[in-house]
Chains A and B, each alone.
Chain A
Amino acid sequence: MNIVVVGGGVFGCLVSYVLARRGCQVTLLDKDYPGSATSASAGGLWAVGESIGLGCGVIFHGKEGKANIDAGPQPLPREFMEFLMESNRYFPALTQEFERHSGIHIEAEKGTGLLYVIYNDKEQQYASSLLDWLSNSDVDVEEWSSQQVCQREPLMTAEQQGGVYFPGDNQVNPMLLANAARQSATALGAVFKNNTAVTGIRMNNGSVTGVDTTHGHFECDVLVNAAGSWSGQLAKLAGLDLPIFPVRGQILCTEAMRKQTLNFNLSTSDCYILQKAHGEILIGSTTEFCGYDVEVPVENLVGLANGARRALPMLSQSIVKRSWSGLRPGTPDEFPILGPVTEIPNYFNATGGFRTGIVGAPLSAEIVAAHILGLEQPFDPEHFLASRFTKGDIHLPQ
Chain B
Amino acid sequence: MSKPELLIVGGGPAGMSAAIEAASHGVRCCIVDEGRELGGQIYRDAHAIEREASPDLINPRGDELRKQLAALTNLIEVRSDSMIWGISDGNKVAVGKEASGTEFITPAAMIMATGAYEYIPPFPGWTLPGVMTPGSAQILAKNLNVMPGNRIVVAGTGPLLYVVASQLVQKGINVVAVLEATQRRDWLKVPFAGWQAWELLKEGFGYLRVLRRAGVPVYYGRIVTHAEGDAELSHIYHAPVDKNWFPDRDKEECLEVDTLCIGYGLQSRNYLAQLAGCKIEFDELGGGWVLQRDKRLRTSQPNIYAAGDGAGVAGSKIAELEGRLAGLDVAASLGHIDAEKLQQKNKPLQRELERFSSLKNTFARLTRIRPGLTELVDTDTIVCRCEEVRWKEAKEAIEHGGHDFRTLKVMTRLGMGMCQARFCWPPMARIVAQYKGCDISEVGPVRPRPPIRPVRLDVIAEAQSNQTQETE
Which residues of A are at the interface with B, using a C-beta cutoff of 8 A?
Answer: 32-33, 35-36, 39, 175, 179, 192, 194-195, 252, 254-255, 278, 295-299, 301-303, 305-306, 308-309, 315-324
Contacts and interface: CB of A to CB of B under 8 A. Distances in A.
A179 B86 CA distance: 31
A317 B454 CA distance: 12
Given A33-B402, A33-B407, A192-B401, A320 B418 contact: no
A256 to B, nearest CB: 8
B463 A320 contact: no
Interface residues of B, number: 34
B406 interface: yes
Given A254-B457, A305-B460, A318-B457, 13 more contacts: A36-B406, A179-B411, A194-B401, A194-B403, A298-B92, A301-B460, A302-B460, A302-B461, A302-B464, A316-B461, A317-B457, A321-B417, A321-B454
A343 to B, nearest CB: 34
Contact of A322 (B88, B401, B420, B461): B420
A296 B456 contact: no
A308 B87 CA distance: 22
Q: Kindly name the residue among A175, A298, A299, A324 whose own CB sees the greatest number of chain B CB atoms within 10 A.
A: A298
A299 B467 contact: yes
A214 to B, nearest CB: 14
21 contacts: A32-B406, A33-B407, A192-B401, A194-B403, A252-B457, A255-B418, A255-B454, A295-B88, A296-B88, A296-B450, A298-B88, A298-B92, A299-B463, A301-B460, A305-B461, A306-B461, A308-B461, A320-B460, A321-B420, A321-B454, A322-B416
Nearest to B88: A297
Contacts of B149: none
Contacts of A39: 410
Contact of B418 (A195, A305, A315, A321): A321
B410 A320 contact: no
B138 interface: no
Given A302-B463, A323-B451, A317 B456 contact: yes
Nearest to A322: B449
Given A298-B87, A306-B464, A321-B418, A36 B410 contact: yes
A32 B403 CA distance: 9
A107 to B, nearest CB: 13
A298 B450 contact: yes
Contacts of A316: 456-458, 461
B436 to A, nearest CB: 13
A298 B86 contact: yes
Closest 6 CB pairs of A and B: A298-B86, A305-B461, A316-B458, A305-B460, A33-B407, A297-B88
Contacts of A194: 401, 403, 407
Contacts of B153: none
B407 A36 contact: yes
B267 interface: no
Nearest to A39: B410
B178 to A, nearest CB: 36
Nearest to B407: A33
A305 B410 CA distance: 24
Looking at chain A's contact residues, is the secondary structure mostly helix, strand, loop, or mixed? Answer: mixed
A301 B86 contact: yes
Interface of B: 85-89, 92, 94, 102, 104, 401-403, 406-407, 410-411, 413, 416-418, 420, 449-451, 454-458, 460-461, 463-464, 467
Given A192-B401, A301-B86, A309-B461, A175 B410 contact: yes
Given A309-B457, A316-B458, A322-B449, A297 B416 contact: no
Contacts of B89: 297
A296 B447 CA distance: 12
A195 B406 contact: no
Nearest to B454: A319
Contacts of A303: 464
A141 B450 CA distance: 37
B425 to A, nearest CB: 14
A319 B455 contact: yes
A33 B401 contact: yes
Contacts of B460: 252, 301-302, 305, 320
B455 A320 contact: yes
Contacts of A306: 461, 464
A323 B456 contact: no
B157 to A, nearest CB: 31
Q: Kindly name the residue among A296, A309, A320, A323 whose own CB sees the greatest number of chain B CB atoms within 10 A.
A: A320
Contacts of B458: 305, 309, 316-317
A156 B408 CA distance: 36
A135 B365 CA distance: 74
B449 A302 contact: no
Contacts of A320: 451, 454-457, 460
A370 to B, nearest CB: 30
Contacts of A32: 406-407
A198 B102 CA distance: 44
Nearest to B461: A305
A168 B411 CA distance: 28
Nearest to B410: A39
Q: Kindly name the residue among B104, B417, B457 whose own CB sees the greatest number of chain A CB atoms within 10 A.
A: B457
A297 B449 CA distance: 9
A35 B454 CA distance: 26
Nearest to B419: A321
B393 to A, nearest CB: 13
A315 B456 CA distance: 9
Nearest to B89: A297
Contacts of A296: 86, 88, 449-450
A324 B449 contact: yes
Contacts of B413: 278
A255 B419 CA distance: 11
Contacts of A318: 456-457
A39 B463 CA distance: 28
B266 to A, nearest CB: 24
B453 to A, nearest CB: 10
Contacts of B403: 33, 194-195
Nearest to B94: A298
Contacts of A309: 457-458, 461
Contacts of B86: 296, 298, 301
Contacts of B451: 320-323
Given A33-B410, A302-B463, A319 B457 contact: yes
Contacts of B464: 302-303, 306
Q: Kindly name the residue among B86, B413, B450, B451 whose own CB sees the greatest number of chain A CB atoms within 10 A.
A: B450
Nearest to B455: A320
B388 to A, nearest CB: 11
A255 B417 CA distance: 8
Contacts of A278: 413
B229 to A, nearest CB: 27
A5 B464 CA distance: 45
Contacts of A254: 457
Contacts of B410: 33, 35-36, 39, 175, 179
B98 to A, nearest CB: 10
A337 B355 CA distance: 66
Contacts of B418: 255, 319, 321
Contact of B88 (A192, A255, A299, A308): A299
Contacts of A295: 88
Q: Kindly name the residue among A39, A278, A322 whose own CB sees the greatest number of chain B CB atoms within 10 A.
A: A322
A182 to B, nearest CB: 9
Contacts of B92: 298-299
